[in-house]
Amino acid sequence: MLKSLNIDPGKCTGCLQCEMACSLENEGVFNTAKSRIKVFTFHEEGRFVPYTCTQCDEAWCMHACPVDAIVLNPVTGSKDVKNDLCVGCKVCTIACPFGTVNYNADSGKVVKCDLCGGDPQCASACPTNAITYVDANATGLDKMRQWAGKTDNAASTGA
């Protein structure tokens, strides 16, 4: 079963546990500046929104890379950056419509979410289930369930 990250901003409290888990897994330090998932705060609106790579099937970054340094992981479906091939040209950062591939000046390579090889640490760390790792074919299931509950009129008709 292919799984994907499912993000529900309504549950996010902006605590950045996901960003720290990501940087610890991938960089070996607690460093939100190096996280591949980002939580954006919209202060006036009172919203926190986590955002990261959605692992497009026809990934713009993968197709744009001139040296084939971004490759499909057949197990997880993630598009992974091969550091030994990446030349740091940043074409993928231009190609990605969502901005989720970014250049790391320290390494001279680009970085993006690789689903931690199938055990995404952001989802494990999230205290409110705003980030979950679920069946890719059913990411809408929770929302469907909520709406299903609202559309159930059995109670009123039975009265």
Q: Which stretch binds another protein (CB under 8 A): 28-36, 57-65, 81-89, 147-155?
A: 28-36
List the one residue out of 140, 122, 144 whose CA is nearest residue 131. 122
Q: Does 44 bind another protein (CB under 8 A)?
A: yes
- Write each residue from 103 to 142 as x if it is in contact with another protein (CB under 8 A), else as -, in one continuous string: ----------------------x-xx--------------
Asked if residues 5 and 122 have their Cβ atoms less than 8 Å apart, the reply is yes
Please tell me the distance from the alpha carbon of residue 124 to that of residue 131, in angstroms, as a whole number. 8
Please tell me the distance from the alpha carbon of residue 58 to that of residue 103, in angstroms, as a whole number. 21
What minimum distance in Å lies between the beta carbon of 24 and another protein?
7
Integer CA distances (angstroms), 111 to 9, 19, 35, 63, 82, in order: 23, 14, 9, 16, 10
- Please identify which residue in 4, 6, 17, 52 interacts with another protein, judged by CB under 8 A: 17
Residues at the site binding another protein, with contacts judged by CB under 8 A: 10, 13-17, 20-21, 23-24, 27-34, 43-48, 125, 127-128
